[in-house]
Amino acid sequence: MIALADLLMRAGWVKRVLFLADRVALVNQAAGAFKAHLPDSAPVNLVTERTSEGRVFLSTYPTMMNLIDGKQEGQVKFGPGHFDLIVIDEAHRSVYQRFRAIFEYFDSFLVGLTATPKDEVDKNTYSLFDLEDGVPTDAYSLDEAIADGVLVPPKATSVPLKIVRSGLRYDDLTAEEKDQWDMLEWGEEEIPDSVDAAEVNKRLFNEDTVDLVIAHLMTHGVKVEGGDRLGKTIVFAKNQAHALYIEERFSAAYPNLAGHFARVITHQTGAYAQTLIDDFSKKAKAPHIAISVDMLDTGIDVPEVVNLVFFKQVRSKTKFWQMMGRGTRLCEDLFGPGQDKEFFRVFDYCQNLEFFGANPEMKDASTAKSLSTRLFAARLDLVRALDEKHAKPGGFAAGEQAPDGDAPPERGRHPRRRVEDASRGGRRAQPRQLHRPPASPRGREI
Protein backbone atom coordinates (compact mmCIF):
# COMPACT_ATOMS: atom_id res chain seq x y z
CA MET A 1 0.00 0.00 0.00
CA ILE A 2 2.87 2.35 0.78
CA ALA A 3 4.38 1.63 -2.63
CA LEU A 4 1.05 2.41 -4.32
CA ALA A 5 0.73 5.72 -2.47
CA ASP A 6 4.30 6.65 -3.38
CA LEU A 7 3.72 5.78 -7.06
CA LEU A 8 0.51 7.82 -7.29
CA MET A 9 2.09 10.82 -5.56
CA ARG A 10 5.16 10.77 -7.81
CA ALA A 11 2.91 10.46 -10.87
CA GLY A 12 0.98 13.56 -9.81
CA TRP A 13 -2.33 11.73 -9.42
CA VAL A 14 -2.45 12.13 -5.67
CA LYS A 15 -1.33 14.96 -3.42
CA ARG A 16 -2.68 13.94 -0.01
CA VAL A 17 -3.60 10.48 1.32
CA LEU A 18 -5.89 9.47 4.19
CA PHE A 19 -5.37 6.08 5.84
CA LEU A 20 -8.29 4.85 7.97
CA ALA A 21 -8.38 2.00 10.50
CA ASP A 22 -10.84 1.06 13.23
CA ARG A 23 -8.33 0.73 16.07
CA VAL A 24 -5.63 2.97 17.49
CA ALA A 25 -3.12 0.09 17.47
CA LEU A 26 -3.54 -0.32 13.70
CA VAL A 27 -3.18 3.42 13.11
CA ASN A 28 0.03 3.51 15.16
CA GLN A 29 1.33 0.48 13.28
CA ALA A 30 0.63 2.08 9.89
CA ALA A 31 2.15 5.42 10.98
CA GLY A 32 5.35 3.62 11.93
CA ALA A 33 5.44 1.85 8.57
CA PHE A 34 5.03 5.09 6.60
CA LYS A 35 7.76 6.80 8.66
CA ALA A 36 10.10 3.87 8.06
CA HIS A 37 9.48 3.35 4.33
CA LEU A 38 8.23 6.74 3.09
CA PRO A 39 9.52 9.43 5.48
CA ASP A 40 9.31 12.18 2.84
CA SER A 41 5.51 11.88 2.92
CA ALA A 42 5.50 13.62 6.33
CA PRO A 43 2.95 11.19 7.87
CA VAL A 44 0.60 12.68 10.48
CA ASN A 45 -1.09 10.50 13.11
CA LEU A 46 -4.34 12.34 13.74
CA VAL A 47 -5.00 10.26 16.85
CA THR A 48 -2.12 12.01 18.62
CA GLU A 49 -1.46 15.09 16.44
CA ARG A 50 -3.72 17.98 15.47
CA THR A 51 -2.25 19.45 12.32
CA SER A 52 -3.36 19.76 8.72
CA GLU A 53 0.19 20.06 7.40
CA GLY A 54 1.33 16.84 5.77
CA ARG A 55 0.87 14.55 2.80
CA VAL A 56 -0.19 11.30 4.50
CA PHE A 57 -2.75 11.37 7.33
CA LEU A 58 -3.69 8.41 9.48
CA SER A 59 -6.79 8.22 11.65
CA THR A 60 -9.44 6.07 13.27
CA TYR A 61 -13.02 6.36 12.05
CA PRO A 62 -14.34 8.15 15.17
CA THR A 63 -11.50 10.69 15.10
CA MET A 64 -12.17 11.52 11.46
CA MET A 65 -15.92 11.76 12.06
CA ASN A 66 -15.28 14.32 14.79
CA LEU A 67 -12.98 16.33 12.53
CA ILE A 68 -15.60 16.34 9.76
CA ASP A 69 -18.38 17.32 12.16
CA GLY A 70 -16.28 20.18 13.56
CA LYS A 71 -16.25 18.74 17.08
CA GLN A 72 -12.49 19.10 17.30
CA GLU A 73 -11.69 22.68 18.36
CA GLY A 74 -15.05 23.82 16.96
CA GLN A 75 -14.02 23.89 13.31
CA VAL A 76 -13.92 21.59 10.31
CA LYS A 77 -10.35 20.52 9.66
CA PHE A 78 -10.77 18.95 6.25
CA GLY A 79 -13.01 19.87 3.35
CA PRO A 80 -14.53 17.36 0.89
CA GLY A 81 -11.65 17.79 -1.56
CA HIS A 82 -8.79 17.72 0.92
CA PHE A 83 -7.76 14.11 0.17
CA ASP A 84 -7.16 12.59 -3.23
CA LEU A 85 -6.89 8.99 -2.01
CA ILE A 86 -8.48 7.20 0.94
CA VAL A 87 -7.07 3.85 2.00
CA ILE A 88 -9.39 1.69 4.11
CA ASP A 89 -7.58 -0.89 6.20
CA GLU A 90 -9.52 -4.05 7.09
CA ALA A 91 -12.29 -2.99 4.71
CA HIS A 92 -14.55 -5.85 5.82
CA ARG A 93 -15.14 -4.01 9.13
CA SER A 94 -16.46 -0.60 10.17
CA VAL A 95 -17.28 0.59 6.64
CA TYR A 96 -21.00 0.17 7.16
CA GLN A 97 -23.72 2.25 8.82
CA ARG A 98 -22.62 5.65 10.18
CA PHE A 99 -18.91 5.44 9.27
CA ARG A 100 -19.84 5.04 5.63
CA ALA A 101 -20.63 8.76 5.69
CA ILE A 102 -16.89 9.44 5.65
CA PHE A 103 -16.56 8.01 2.14
CA GLU A 104 -19.64 9.90 0.96
CA TYR A 105 -18.22 13.17 2.36
CA PHE A 106 -14.82 13.06 0.67
CA ASP A 107 -14.43 13.23 -3.11
CA SER A 108 -11.47 10.92 -3.67
CA PHE A 109 -10.24 7.59 -4.92
CA LEU A 110 -11.00 4.65 -2.61
CA VAL A 111 -8.75 1.65 -2.02
CA GLY A 112 -9.97 -1.05 0.36
CA LEU A 113 -7.66 -3.64 1.87
CA THR A 114 -9.02 -6.89 3.27
CA ALA A 115 -8.25 -10.58 3.23
CA THR A 116 -11.87 -11.50 3.94
CA PRO A 117 -14.43 -9.35 2.08
CA LYS A 118 -18.08 -9.76 3.05
CA ASP A 119 -21.07 -10.09 0.73
CA GLU A 120 -23.88 -10.11 3.28
CA VAL A 121 -27.01 -8.04 2.71
CA ASP A 122 -26.36 -5.56 5.53
CA LYS A 123 -22.55 -5.84 5.40
CA ASN A 124 -21.41 -5.90 1.82
CA THR A 125 -17.81 -4.87 1.19
CA TYR A 126 -18.17 -5.09 -2.58
CA SER A 127 -21.05 -2.62 -2.79
CA LEU A 128 -18.95 0.19 -1.31
CA PHE A 129 -16.68 -0.05 -4.34
CA ASP A 130 -19.50 -0.70 -6.84
CA LEU A 131 -18.25 -4.24 -7.51
CA GLU A 132 -20.03 -7.47 -8.26
CA ASP A 133 -20.27 -9.80 -5.25
CA GLY A 134 -17.31 -12.13 -5.07
CA VAL A 135 -15.34 -10.25 -7.76
CA PRO A 136 -12.78 -7.90 -6.20
CA THR A 137 -10.72 -5.45 -8.27
CA ASP A 138 -7.67 -7.56 -7.57
CA ALA A 139 -7.00 -10.60 -5.42
CA TYR A 140 -3.89 -12.38 -4.17
CA SER A 141 -4.72 -15.68 -2.49
CA LEU A 142 -2.95 -17.17 0.52
CA ASP A 143 -1.79 -20.16 -1.55
CA GLU A 144 -0.30 -17.85 -4.18
CA ALA A 145 1.46 -15.76 -1.54
CA ILE A 146 2.95 -18.87 0.08
CA ALA A 147 4.06 -20.25 -3.30
CA ASP A 148 5.72 -16.92 -4.14
CA GLY A 149 7.51 -16.82 -0.78
CA VAL A 150 5.65 -13.73 0.37
CA LEU A 151 3.98 -15.50 3.33
CA VAL A 152 4.74 -18.64 5.31
CA PRO A 153 2.36 -21.62 5.61
CA PRO A 154 0.69 -22.97 8.75
CA LYS A 155 1.40 -26.39 10.22
CA ALA A 156 -1.30 -27.75 12.47
CA THR A 157 -0.42 -29.88 15.48
CA SER A 158 -2.60 -32.78 16.57
CA VAL A 159 -3.67 -32.01 20.14
CA PRO A 160 -4.07 -34.77 22.75
CA LEU A 161 -6.97 -33.18 24.63
CA LYS A 162 -9.75 -35.73 24.30
CA ILE A 163 -12.02 -33.91 26.78
CA VAL A 164 -12.21 -30.76 24.65
CA ARG A 165 -12.71 -32.71 21.43
CA SER A 166 -14.89 -35.63 22.54
CA GLY A 167 -16.52 -34.54 25.77
CA LEU A 168 -16.80 -36.65 28.94
CA ARG A 169 -18.50 -39.98 29.65
CA TYR A 170 -19.29 -41.06 33.20
CA ASP A 171 -18.31 -44.67 32.47
CA ASP A 172 -14.82 -43.56 31.38
CA LEU A 173 -14.03 -41.85 34.70
CA THR A 174 -12.07 -43.27 37.61
CA ALA A 175 -13.82 -44.03 40.91
CA GLU A 176 -12.55 -40.78 42.41
CA GLU A 177 -13.65 -38.77 39.37
CA LYS A 178 -17.09 -40.41 39.50
CA ASP A 179 -17.46 -39.25 43.10
CA GLN A 180 -16.58 -35.70 42.03
CA TRP A 181 -19.07 -35.98 39.15
CA ASP A 182 -21.84 -37.00 41.54
CA MET A 183 -21.06 -34.07 43.84
CA LEU A 184 -21.28 -31.43 41.10
CA GLU A 185 -24.17 -28.96 41.00
CA TRP A 186 -26.20 -30.08 37.99
CA GLY A 187 -29.16 -27.84 38.77
CA GLU A 188 -32.64 -29.29 38.70
CA GLU A 189 -31.75 -31.79 36.00
CA GLU A 190 -30.80 -35.38 36.70
CA ILE A 191 -27.14 -36.24 36.85
CA PRO A 192 -26.14 -36.84 33.18
CA ASP A 193 -24.27 -39.85 31.89
CA SER A 194 -22.09 -37.72 29.65
CA VAL A 195 -21.20 -34.15 28.70
CA ASP A 196 -20.64 -33.48 25.00
CA ALA A 197 -17.75 -31.47 23.58
CA ALA A 198 -19.93 -28.40 22.95
CA GLU A 199 -20.78 -28.14 26.64
CA VAL A 200 -17.15 -28.61 27.64
CA ASN A 201 -16.14 -25.83 25.25
CA LYS A 202 -18.62 -23.47 26.88
CA ARG A 203 -16.62 -23.71 30.08
CA LEU A 204 -12.91 -24.27 29.26
CA PHE A 205 -12.08 -23.27 32.83
CA ASN A 206 -11.18 -26.74 34.02
CA GLU A 207 -7.84 -26.47 35.84
CA ASP A 208 -6.43 -29.69 34.42
CA THR A 209 -7.46 -28.75 30.89
CA VAL A 210 -5.77 -25.35 31.04
CA ASP A 211 -2.65 -26.85 32.62
CA LEU A 212 -2.46 -29.48 29.87
CA VAL A 213 -2.80 -26.86 27.15
CA ILE A 214 -0.04 -24.72 28.69
CA ALA A 215 2.28 -27.70 29.16
CA HIS A 216 1.64 -28.91 25.60
CA LEU A 217 2.38 -25.46 24.19
CA MET A 218 5.57 -24.99 26.22
CA THR A 219 6.81 -28.44 25.21
CA HIS A 220 5.89 -28.52 21.52
CA GLY A 221 5.71 -24.86 20.54
CA VAL A 222 8.27 -23.47 18.11
CA LYS A 223 11.31 -22.23 20.03
CA VAL A 224 13.82 -19.44 19.34
CA GLU A 225 17.22 -18.48 20.75
CA GLY A 226 18.65 -21.88 19.99
CA GLY A 227 15.58 -23.61 21.36
CA ASP A 228 15.91 -22.09 24.84
CA ARG A 229 12.77 -19.92 24.71
CA LEU A 230 9.26 -20.25 23.31
CA GLY A 231 8.77 -18.06 20.26
CA LYS A 232 6.21 -15.28 20.11
CA THR A 233 2.80 -16.82 20.70
CA ILE A 234 -0.80 -15.60 20.56
CA VAL A 235 -3.40 -17.47 22.62
CA PHE A 236 -6.98 -16.78 21.51
CA ALA A 237 -9.10 -17.00 24.66
CA LYS A 238 -12.89 -17.20 24.98
CA ASN A 239 -13.44 -14.11 27.15
CA GLN A 240 -11.74 -11.86 29.69
CA ALA A 241 -12.24 -14.27 32.60
CA HIS A 242 -10.86 -17.14 30.54
CA ALA A 243 -7.81 -15.08 29.53
CA LEU A 244 -7.07 -14.09 33.12
CA TYR A 245 -7.43 -17.71 34.24
CA ILE A 246 -4.94 -18.88 31.59
CA GLU A 247 -2.44 -16.27 32.78
CA GLU A 248 -3.04 -17.34 36.40
CA ARG A 249 -2.42 -21.03 35.64
CA PHE A 250 0.69 -20.18 33.59
CA SER A 251 2.13 -18.21 36.52
CA ALA A 252 1.40 -21.14 38.83
CA ALA A 253 3.12 -23.62 36.50
CA TYR A 254 6.11 -21.38 35.73
CA PRO A 255 6.65 -19.07 38.75
CA ASN A 256 10.03 -17.94 37.41
CA LEU A 257 8.25 -16.50 34.35
CA ALA A 258 5.24 -15.10 36.21
CA GLY A 259 4.26 -11.50 35.62
CA HIS A 260 6.14 -10.89 32.38
CA PHE A 261 6.39 -13.89 30.03
CA ALA A 262 2.64 -14.35 29.43
CA ARG A 263 0.30 -11.35 29.61
CA VAL A 264 -3.36 -10.69 28.92
CA ILE A 265 -3.84 -8.11 26.14
CA THR A 266 -7.50 -7.18 25.69
CA HIS A 267 -9.61 -4.06 25.32
CA GLN A 268 -10.19 -4.19 29.08
CA THR A 269 -6.45 -3.79 29.66
CA GLY A 270 -7.00 -0.10 28.89
CA ALA A 271 -4.31 2.34 27.79
CA TYR A 272 -1.61 -0.09 28.93
CA ALA A 273 -2.66 -2.50 26.16
CA GLN A 274 -0.79 -0.48 23.52
CA THR A 275 2.40 -0.62 25.60
CA LEU A 276 2.05 -4.40 25.88
CA ILE A 277 1.47 -4.68 22.11
CA ASP A 278 4.58 -2.58 21.44
CA ASP A 279 6.64 -4.80 23.76
CA PHE A 280 5.17 -7.97 22.23
CA SER A 281 6.20 -6.67 18.79
CA LYS A 282 9.86 -6.53 19.84
CA LYS A 283 11.80 -9.70 19.15
CA ALA A 284 13.62 -10.14 22.47
CA LYS A 285 11.27 -8.30 24.82
CA ALA A 286 8.55 -9.78 27.04
CA PRO A 287 5.73 -10.65 26.87
CA HIS A 288 6.39 -13.62 24.63
CA ILE A 289 2.87 -15.04 25.05
CA ALA A 290 -0.03 -12.68 24.36
CA ILE A 291 -3.38 -13.93 25.66
CA SER A 292 -5.98 -12.10 23.63
CA VAL A 293 -9.74 -11.74 23.43
CA ASP A 294 -10.55 -10.22 20.01
CA MET A 295 -7.89 -7.48 20.24
CA LEU A 296 -5.13 -9.38 18.41
CA ASP A 297 -7.43 -11.40 16.18
CA THR A 298 -7.07 -9.13 13.15
CA GLY A 299 -4.83 -6.41 11.78
CA ILE A 300 -1.89 -6.64 14.16
CA ASP A 301 1.33 -7.60 12.36
CA VAL A 302 4.07 -9.19 14.47
CA PRO A 303 6.35 -11.12 12.08
CA GLU A 304 8.00 -12.95 14.99
CA VAL A 305 4.78 -14.85 15.85
CA VAL A 306 5.42 -18.57 15.32
CA ASN A 307 2.68 -20.15 17.48
CA LEU A 308 -1.09 -19.61 17.34
CA VAL A 309 -3.26 -21.25 20.02
CA PHE A 310 -6.99 -21.59 19.37
CA PHE A 311 -8.40 -22.05 22.87
CA LYS A 312 -11.94 -21.09 21.91
CA GLN A 313 -14.49 -21.99 19.30
CA VAL A 314 -14.67 -19.66 16.30
CA ARG A 315 -17.70 -19.85 14.07
CA SER A 316 -17.09 -16.86 11.79
CA LYS A 317 -15.13 -17.82 8.69
CA THR A 318 -14.01 -14.22 8.21
CA LYS A 319 -12.68 -14.03 11.74
CA PHE A 320 -11.05 -17.47 11.61
CA TRP A 321 -8.93 -16.65 8.56
CA GLN A 322 -8.05 -13.24 9.98
CA MET A 323 -6.78 -15.00 13.10
CA MET A 324 -4.78 -17.47 11.00
CA GLY A 325 -3.21 -14.52 9.22
CA ARG A 326 -1.45 -13.41 12.42
CA GLY A 327 1.19 -16.08 11.88
CA THR A 328 1.80 -15.82 8.13
CA ARG A 329 4.23 -12.88 8.08
CA LEU A 330 7.82 -13.44 6.99
CA CYS A 331 10.62 -12.87 9.50
CA GLU A 332 14.27 -12.97 8.50
CA ASP A 333 17.01 -14.32 10.78
CA LEU A 334 14.45 -15.31 13.42
CA PHE A 335 16.39 -18.42 14.46
CA GLY A 336 19.84 -17.00 13.76
CA PRO A 337 21.80 -15.54 10.83
CA GLY A 338 20.38 -16.96 7.63
CA GLN A 339 17.74 -18.98 9.49
CA ASP A 340 14.44 -17.39 8.51
CA LYS A 341 10.92 -18.19 9.61
CA GLU A 342 9.60 -20.87 7.26
CA PHE A 343 6.24 -21.76 8.85
CA PHE A 344 4.17 -21.20 11.96
CA ARG A 345 2.55 -23.72 14.27
CA VAL A 346 -1.23 -23.86 14.90
CA PHE A 347 -2.48 -25.48 18.11
CA ASP A 348 -6.23 -25.99 17.75
CA TYR A 349 -7.93 -27.32 20.88
CA CYS A 350 -11.53 -26.66 19.83
CA GLN A 351 -11.92 -28.25 16.38
CA ASN A 352 -11.95 -25.00 14.44
CA LEU A 353 -9.82 -26.41 11.62
CA GLU A 354 -12.28 -29.24 11.08
CA PHE A 355 -15.26 -26.89 11.23
CA PHE A 356 -13.95 -24.60 8.48
CA GLY A 357 -12.43 -27.37 6.41
CA ALA A 358 -9.01 -25.80 6.72
CA ASN A 359 -6.39 -28.23 5.55
CA PRO A 360 -2.93 -27.21 6.74
CA GLU A 361 -0.30 -29.89 7.16
CA MET A 362 -1.33 -31.99 10.16
CA LYS A 363 1.49 -33.58 12.14
CA ASP A 364 2.66 -34.28 15.65
CA ALA A 365 5.06 -31.65 16.90
CA SER A 366 8.44 -33.02 17.91
CA THR A 367 10.15 -31.51 20.92
CA ALA A 368 12.96 -29.20 19.86
CA LYS A 369 16.27 -29.63 21.69
CA SER A 370 17.53 -26.34 23.08
CA LEU A 371 21.02 -25.03 22.42
CA SER A 372 21.98 -25.48 26.07
CA THR A 373 20.82 -29.12 25.91
CA ARG A 374 22.86 -29.78 22.78
CA LEU A 375 25.95 -28.13 24.28
CA PHE A 376 25.62 -30.22 27.43
CA ALA A 377 25.30 -33.39 25.36
CA ALA A 378 28.42 -32.48 23.35
CA ARG A 379 30.43 -31.88 26.53
CA LEU A 380 29.19 -35.16 27.97
CA ASP A 381 30.34 -36.97 24.82
CA LEU A 382 33.77 -35.35 25.19
CA VAL A 383 34.12 -36.38 28.84
CA ARG A 384 33.05 -39.93 27.99
CA ALA A 385 35.64 -40.12 25.20
CA LEU A 386 38.40 -38.92 27.53
CA ASP A 387 37.42 -41.43 30.20
CA GLU A 388 37.50 -44.27 27.67
CA LYS A 389 40.93 -43.12 26.46
CA HIS A 390 42.46 -42.94 29.93
CA ALA A 391 41.06 -46.34 30.86
CA LYS A 392 43.38 -48.06 28.33
CA PRO A 393 46.86 -49.41 29.44
CA GLY A 394 49.52 -46.73 29.56
CA GLY A 395 47.01 -43.98 29.00
CA PHE A 396 47.44 -44.14 25.22
CA ALA A 397 44.79 -44.54 22.59
CA ALA A 398 44.55 -47.69 20.53
CA GLY A 399 47.35 -47.86 17.97
CA GLU A 400 49.79 -45.63 19.95
CA GLN A 401 52.98 -46.96 21.58
CA ALA A 402 54.72 -45.87 24.78
CA PRO A 403 58.22 -44.34 24.40
CA ASP A 404 61.16 -46.81 24.56
CA GLY A 405 62.43 -47.54 28.03
CA ASP A 406 59.18 -46.63 29.76
CA ALA A 407 58.08 -49.33 32.09
CA PRO A 408 54.47 -50.12 32.66
CA PRO A 409 52.98 -48.03 35.46
CA GLU A 410 53.38 -49.34 38.97
CA ARG A 411 50.50 -51.20 40.50
CA GLY A 412 48.05 -48.83 42.12
CA ARG A 413 49.22 -45.79 40.16
CA HIS A 414 46.89 -44.15 37.64
CA PRO A 415 48.11 -44.03 34.00
CA ARG A 416 47.56 -40.26 33.93
CA ARG A 417 49.94 -39.84 36.89
CA ARG A 418 52.57 -41.92 35.03
CA VAL A 419 52.55 -39.47 32.10
CA GLU A 420 52.88 -36.46 34.46
CA ASP A 421 55.84 -38.10 36.26
CA ALA A 422 57.62 -38.69 32.96
CA SER A 423 57.30 -34.99 32.14
CA ARG A 424 58.70 -33.88 35.50
CA GLY A 425 61.57 -36.37 35.26
CA GLY A 426 63.09 -34.67 32.24
CA ARG A 427 61.69 -37.08 29.67
CA ARG A 428 59.18 -35.38 27.44
CA ALA A 429 55.89 -37.24 27.47
CA GLN A 430 54.55 -38.64 24.24
CA PRO A 431 51.86 -36.19 22.94
CA ARG A 432 48.42 -37.65 23.36
CA GLN A 433 46.10 -37.34 20.39
CA LEU A 434 42.60 -36.64 21.60
CA HIS A 435 39.94 -37.85 19.25
CA ARG A 436 37.16 -35.30 18.91
CA PRO A 437 33.75 -36.97 19.36
CA PRO A 438 31.17 -36.59 16.62
CA ALA A 439 29.55 -33.17 16.80
CA SER A 440 26.05 -33.11 18.20
CA PRO A 441 23.50 -32.21 15.53
CA ARG A 442 22.58 -28.56 15.63
CA GLY A 443 19.63 -28.54 13.27
CA ARG A 444 16.39 -27.26 14.69
CA GLU A 445 13.94 -30.03 15.43
CA ILE A 446 10.49 -28.57 14.95
CATH code of the domain in which 12 resides: 3.40.50.300
- Residues 238, 350 share a domain: yes
- Residues 330, 196 share a domain: yes
Q: How far apart are CA 181 and CA 176, in angstroms?
A: 9
Domain boundary, last residue among 114, 139, 164: 139
- Residues 111, 18 share a domain: yes
- Residues 213, 73 share a domain: no
What's the pLDDT at 214? 93
Q: How far apart are CA 126 and CA 76, in angstroms?
A: 30
Domain boundary, last residue among 109, 139, 169: 139
- The partner residues of 289 in beta bridges, in order of sequence, read 233, 262
- Residues 359, 417 share a domain: no
Q: How far apart are CA 213 and CA 195, in angstroms?
A: 20
pLDDT higher than 80, residue 196: no
- Residues 113, 34 share a domain: yes
Domain boundary, last residue among 313, 348, 363: 363
Domain count of the fold of the chain: 3
Q: How far apart are CA 404 and CA 48, in angstroms?
A: 87
Stretch (H or E) spanning 24: helix 24-37
Q: How far apart are CA 119 and CA 390, in angstroms?
A: 77
- Residues 280, 184 share a domain: yes
Domain-embedded: residue 146: no
Q: Is the pTM of this model over 0.75?
A: no
Domain-embedded: residue 83: yes
- Residues 220, 131 share a domain: no
DSSP secondary structure letters along 116-162: S--B-SSSBHHHHTT--TT--S----HHHHHHTTSS--EEEE----H
Summarize pLDDT for 125-165 with one digit per residue, the tens: 888 888 888 888 888 888 898 899 999 999 987 675 566 66
Domain span at residue 401 reads: 392-446
**59 phi and psi angles, rounded to 5 deg:** -155, 160
Summarize pLDDT for 198-247 with one digit per residue, the tens: 666 555 567 888 998 999 999 999 998 888 899 999 999 989 999 999 99
- Residues 357, 214 share a domain: yes
- Residues 49, 15 share a domain: yes
Q: How many CA atoms lie within 13 A of 162 on its CB side?
A: 4
Greater confidence, 424 or 166?
Answer: 166
Domain-embedded: residue 299: yes
What's the pLDDT at 128? 80
- Residues 328, 202 share a domain: yes
Of 31, 37, 34, the closest CA to residue 49 belongs to 31
